[in-house]
A and B are shown apart, each in its own frame.
Chain A
Amino acid sequence: MFGSLIRKCKRWQEHSLISEDQVQAILAFEKQRKAGKLVRDLTNVAIFAIFLGVVSLVAANWVAIPDDLKLIGHFILNLLVVWFLLRIDQQQHPVRRDSCLLLLFGLFLTFIALIGQTYQLHGDLHTTLLFWLAICTPFIWYFGSSYMVAVPWLAVAVVALYLNIGHYLDKNEDRLVLIGSLISFYLPMALILVSRLPVLKTYRPGFIEAFYRLGIYLPAIFANIALHFFYEGPRALDQQTVLLALMALGLFVIFAVFHPRAKVSGNSPELWYYLLVSGLVMMLPFVLPELESGELSALLFVLYWMFIAWLGARIHAASLTDWAIRLVILRLFIVYLEVFGSLLQTGVGLIASGIILLVVLRYLNRIVAVGRKLVNYEIG
């Protein structure tokens, strides 16, 4: 289980970097940490399995069971989970408490599905998610305090937000792009700022990590979606000026609020660069609304992920650098297919593509290592 860590510790001990006592202390610490993680992960798997089981049961057809009995049964099931929740010692068993909360959260979705099935409601997904969030958010926020509870709640909230925007602005594509782009632009920033709220640090410390991590992941996701806009043009909106002005304002907010010299804890040059560059990339398809170019999209993708690799090297996140370089390689391969796909005969093209892919896979690790050296050399 700790094979890699043991090998590393032995190597460090041989080079007199750490003592035998330190090796034992590190291994003991990691063992304890992993043991806790295993319990948490298995609990999550168990809760998820129960949730899926209940969903399957509700979705299955119980033609022989009267509708009223099904509804009463589900109501009692939810009450039982609340009863268990209230009997848990919250200081000694925080994982059990959070598992109960997650189970209750899931059970209310299945309850909504059961009511919809019984009365043939056929509700839309966006309305269902919004209703589910509205009734469950109070108890999730009142009783939940860990990352384990915050992540599913936040994921559902973000999905519900986008589904509702998509539904209500579906008839006006211009307004859909405007509102969708602006929310995508400001949402990550808002999530990071929320994660810094003192009140959250005091009362819901577990939620901070969920908000922060999502705030960090989203700019990269949205930037890559924005780069795909270059495949279709023109993209000029009726409210183009408004969109650009509000995005420019957003960039200014990022520049000022996340500036490394601003006396705010959590600010770092890397976070600042990342948010600024991602914001610029999100803005670019709207700054150049007439430009339609797959090659430009590919080039910007490669440059963006080279930048992410550089950031990974700066913050000593080797795995981030490796994955960014892998993405660059994969994108370059896709460029090859895009550019030459129509010129070569299908058979020759497929054979050549297969050979190139095999070569790339064969030397992937070496290419990544060279890329990492280059990035580190740049920093050095």
Chain B
Amino acid sequence: MKLAETLKPLGLVCLALPFVAMLGMIVLNHNNVQGHPEYRFEIEGYDPRDLLKGHFLIFRYKWPVGTVNRFDDSSYPRANQVCACISGETLQPQVQFDSCKAQGKPHCAATVEVSGWASGTGLQPPESLRQFYIPEAQAPLLEKMLRSGGRKFEVAIVPRGQGQAQLKALYIDGTELNEFLLNESHSLSSSHPD
């Protein structure tokens, strides 16, 4: 006897559950990415390169000029978590670092938890916001381009709940990654034979 002929409602629920969960995950992420304004930040290459993450473009944020640091960096590890309050125009956002407890003010469009030293290499968001999944074949070329600094690389992030954000897109000279790759795949491979 086929399984379908003996299937009870509970069995159907058990089978449907993962499909519903997957659909929910897609809808949630889709709405989040489409339903919030994206804030663009210029990025720079990360050195030393993380060799274990060959599929990802690893980068650091170049915080915009005029970024304010209200955070006292005298103690490490810190008692309070540090957050970046993002506000202003989506294409020219303003950033202010402060204790996460002091964040969440109405003028913050998004708050992102950051870590590191306030001086030197700077405060940076968690790893999940510092790596972008890119096509395998183009990964070395893009990484080389990013590190050489010849082009302007930007990432777009969208707010996702308190203290969290989600990467939405990668822009190269103002063009979205996939479009850039489709437009310039031939010139890229000829100019970077290795």
**A residues in contact with B7, CB < 8 Å:** 86
Residue of A60, A79, A141 touching B136 (CB-CB under 8 A): A60
Q: Given that A86-B3, A120-B132 are contacting pairs, would A115 and B14 also be in contact in the complex, using a CB cutoff of 8 Å?
A: no
A143 at the interface (CB under 8 A from B): yes
A117 at the interface (CB under 8 A from B): yes
Number of interface residues of A (CB under 8 A): 38
Once the chains bind, are A75 and B15 in contact (CB under 8 Å)? no
**A residues in contact with B14, CB < 8 Å:** 138-139, 141-143
Ordered by A's residue number, 24 sampled pairs between the chains whose C-beta atoms are within 8 Å are: A59-B55, A61-B134, A61-B136, A61-B137, A63-B135, A63-B138, A63-B181, A75-B23, A78-B19, A86-B4, A86-B7, A89-B2, A90-B6, A115-B22, A119-B29, A119-B30, A119-B166, A120-B132, A120-B133, A121-B166, A122-B127, A122-B167, A135-B17, A139-B18
B52 at the interface (CB under 8 A from A): no
Smallest CB separation, B40 vs chain A (Å): 15
Given contacts A78-B19, A87-B4, 7 further A-B contacts (CB under 8 A): A63-B178, A63-B182, A89-B3, A108-B22, A122-B129, A136-B18, A143-B15
**B residues in contact with A138, CB < 8 Å:** 13-14, 17
Once the chains bind, are A88 and B3 in contact (CB under 8 Å)? yes
Interface string of A80-103 (1 = CB under 8 A from B): 001001111111000001000000
CA A112 – CA B13 in complex, angstroms? 20
A71 at the interface (CB under 8 A from B): yes
Smallest CB separation, B13 vs chain A (Å): 7
**B residues in contact with A135, CB < 8 Å:** 17-18, 21-22
Smallest CB separation, A268 vs chain B (Å): 37
Interface string of B98-123 (1 = CB under 8 A from A): 00000000000000000000000000
A111 at the interface (CB under 8 A from B): yes
Once the chains bind, are B22 and A139 in contact (CB under 8 Å)? no
Closest residue of chain A to B11, judged by CB? A142
B65 at the interface (CB under 8 A from A): no
Closest residue of chain B to A87, judged by CB? B2
**A residues in contact with B134, CB < 8 Å:** 61
Smallest CB separation, A57 vs chain B (Å): 12
Once the chains bind, are A89 and B19 in contact (CB under 8 Å)? no
CA A119 – CA B7 in complex, angstroms? 35
**B residues in contact with A59, CB < 8 Å:** 55
Once the chains bind, are A119 and B33 in contact (CB under 8 Å)? yes
**A residues in contact with B131, CB < 8 Å:** 122
Once the chains bind, are A85 and B3 in contact (CB under 8 Å)? yes
Residue of B4, B10, B128, B137 touching A142 (CB-CB under 8 A): B10
Residue of A87, A115, A123, A143 touching B11 (CB-CB under 8 A): A143
CA A27 – CA B168 in complex, angstroms? 64
Closest residue of chain B to A85, judged by CB? B3
Residue of B4, B128, B137, B182 touching A121 (CB-CB under 8 A): B128
CA A319 – CA B181 in complex, angstroms? 58
B91 at the interface (CB under 8 A from A): no
Smallest CB separation, A131 vs chain B (Å): 8
Smallest CB separation, A121 vs chain B (Å): 7
**A residues in contact with B79, CB < 8 Å:** none
Once the chains bind, are A111 and B22 in contact (CB under 8 Å)? yes
Q: Given that A108-B18, A138-B17, A139-B15 are contacting pairs, would A87 and B55 also be in contact in the complex, using a CB cutoff of 8 Å?
A: no
Smallest CB separation, A45 vs chain B (Å): 24
Smallest CB separation, B189 vs chain A (Å): 13
CA A91 – CA B135 in complex, angstroms? 45
